[in-house]
């Protein structure tokens, strides 16, 4: 499961000339995660931070490990402080030894790619970009970004929630839950004194944004001419049925996020010891599995809440989730096919959740046409490796003159990366996501 922090409906909402992420970099490594081995193995230090030195080579060169002094590289040292706090949260509060509960050493890489606007867990390590320097700053700055990605690793080794539709939105929400617990614990905040923002400080000055998400008030974190308005929802009344963003995982995660925030405030005190303990027990107690939906997760948290069951139940009721039934809401049907001489690519996913679309008519006079036509003739979509999407990584939907396929970022071939690069270089992004589809 590769998990990226920035949702697809937010990435690249700037003007085409300001698109900061190279499609080739978005491809990351093309080696499937199941075929890869962990970077670190016991008895390695508890964590090691590497630098990719603005390349996409993973893990990069080792710079700092547990027990060593600060390096002087701000991103390296932020990652070191963050992983130290995250490991302490899970060990000291929940009795969990690293993400796998077996003490696995954690590998982290900073300075990934050039102007890379994302962070992700790829099933082996945590990876952080430096941002584009225009909209996003470095992804190591807000500690909750690291907490979010580390929790994707925990979820992968516990409930294993599939990254699509309601289970995927729960996967995203659980990462925000423990990211918030980490942030509040490090700051010494109580539930009623916390700001409940995820990714505060990620946007650069001049961007009209408080954070990337607001767990207390989904849909209010930003409203900026370059980004659009935060499209996240906080109630089942507004549930988004879509094929984008793996079924709207970053949009609909606002619903369980708000339920957690309401439960935490109702219980009071330290979030990580109150509602956080209940959510952790639900995640790891055996009642939550790969396909658990909102109703099933609500039931699991109520069962784990003991004397606090009424407060937790009221929180889920407030967002329109009844703790019964099963089955995630299916995504919306795909839109109509593209005309036979039209080529398009749509990128969704990523930590920010932006949707970016590019298309080209091969019968037109676009100067990119000859190269795109040659690539279309050469590509065999049926031969491209498939596999499930991974949290917070991008997903590409290709329509090559009627030949269609969905390709997770980690499986892009060189030709598909080039196609994405060509078409998305002159793209349009809908910041409002599938709720406002054409």
Mind listing the domains of the chain with CATH numbers?
A: 3-156 (3.10.170.10), 165-318 (1.10.390.10), 342-436 (no CATH)
When pLDDT is averaged across residues 372-398 and rounded to a whole number, the result is 82
List, by residue number, the catalytic residues.
149, 250
Confidence of residue 11 (pLDDT cuts 50, 70, 90): low
When pLDDT is averaged across residues 325-337 and rounded to a whole number, the result is 36
Give, in order, the Cα–Cα distances in Å from 110 to each of 74, 107, 130, 156, 392.
10, 10, 8, 22, 16
Residue 184, Cα to own-chain centre: how many angstroms? 20
pLDDT tens-digit readout, 28-85:
333 344 445 678 877 899 999 999 999 999 999 999 999 999 999 999 999 999 999 9
When pLDDT is averaged across residues 166-172 and rounded to a whole number, the result is 98
Q: What is the DSSP letter of 184?
A: H
Confidence of residue 153 (pLDDT cuts 50, 70, 90): very high
pLDDT tens-digit readout, 396-406:
888 888 888 88
Confidence of residue 335 (pLDDT cuts 50, 70, 90): very low
Give, in order, the Cα–Cα distances in Å from 215 to each of 165, 234, 434.
19, 8, 21
Confidence of residue 136 (pLDDT cuts 50, 70, 90): very high
Query: Is 428's pLDDT higher than 50?
Result: no
Q: Which residues touch 92 (CB under 8 Å, ≥6 apart)?
A: none
The pLDDT score that the predictor gives to residue 371 is 87
Work out whether strand 428-430 and strand 355-361 pair parallel, antiparallel, or are unpaired: antiparallel
- Stretch among 101-115, 195-209, 311-325 having the lowest mean pLDDT: 311-325
pLDDT tens-digit readout, 264-287:
999 999 999 999 999 999 999 999
Average pLDDT, the chain: 86
Phi-psi region of 66 (alpha: psi -120 to 50; beta: other; left: phi over 0): beta
Residue 246, Cα to own-chain centre: how many angstroms? 11
Q: Which residues touch 373 (CB under 8 Å, ≥6 apart)?
A: 362
């Amino acid at each position: 499961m590769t998990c990226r922090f920035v949702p697809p409906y937010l990435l690249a909402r700037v003007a085409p000339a300001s698109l900061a992420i190279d499609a080739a970099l978005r491809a990351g490594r093309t080696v499937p995660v199941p075929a890869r081995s962990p970077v670190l193995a016991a008895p390695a230090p508890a964590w090691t931070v590497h630098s990719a030195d603005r390349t996409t080579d993973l893990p990069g060169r080792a710079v700092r490990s547990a027990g060593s002094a600060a390096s002087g590289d701000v991103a390296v040292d932020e990652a070191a402080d963050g992983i130290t706090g995250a490991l302490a949260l899970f060990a000291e509060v929940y009795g969990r030894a690293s993400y796998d509960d077996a003490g696995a050493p954690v590998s982290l890489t900073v300075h990934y790619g050039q102007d890379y606007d994302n962070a992700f867990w790829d099933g082996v390590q945590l990876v952080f970009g430096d941002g584009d320097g225009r909209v996003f700053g470095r992804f190591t700055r807000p500690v909750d970004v690291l907490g979010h990605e580390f929790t994707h690793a925990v979820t992968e080794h516990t409930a294993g929630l599939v990254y699509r539709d309601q289970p995927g939105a729960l996967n995203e929400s659980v990462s925000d839950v423990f990211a918030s617990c980490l942030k509040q614990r490090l700051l010494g905040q109580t539930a009623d004194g916390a700001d409940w923002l995820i990714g505060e400080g990620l946007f650069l000055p001049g961007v009209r944004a408080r954070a990337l998400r607001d767990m207390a008030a989904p849909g209010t974190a930003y409203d900026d001419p370059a980004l659009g308005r935060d499209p996240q929802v906080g109630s089942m009344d507004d549930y988004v049925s879509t094929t984008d963003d793996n079924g709207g995982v970053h949009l609909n995660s606002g619903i369980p996020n708000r339920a957690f925030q309401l439960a935490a405030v109702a219980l009071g005190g330290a979030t990580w010891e109150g509602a956080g303990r209940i959510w952790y027990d639900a995640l790891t107690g055996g009642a939550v599995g790969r396909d658990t939906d909102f109703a099933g997760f609500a039931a699991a948290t109520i069962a784990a809440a003991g004397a606090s069951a009424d407060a937790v139940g009221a929180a889920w009721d407030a967002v329109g989730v009844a703790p019964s039934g099963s089955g995630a809401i299916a995504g919306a049907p795909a839109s109509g096919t593209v005309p036979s001489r039209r080529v398009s690519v749509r990128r969704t996913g990523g930590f920010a959740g932006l949707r970016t679309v590019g298309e080209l008519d091969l019968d037109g006079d676009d100067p990119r046409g000859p190269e795109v036509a040659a690539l279309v003739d050469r590509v065999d979509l049926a031969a491209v490796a498939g596999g499930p999407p991974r949290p917070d990584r991008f997903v590409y939907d290709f329509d090559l003159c009627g030949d269609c396929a969905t390709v997770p970022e980690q499986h892009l071939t060189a030709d598909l990366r080039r196609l994405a690069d060509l078409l998305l270089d002159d793209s349009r992004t809908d910041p409002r996501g599938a709720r406002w589809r054409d």
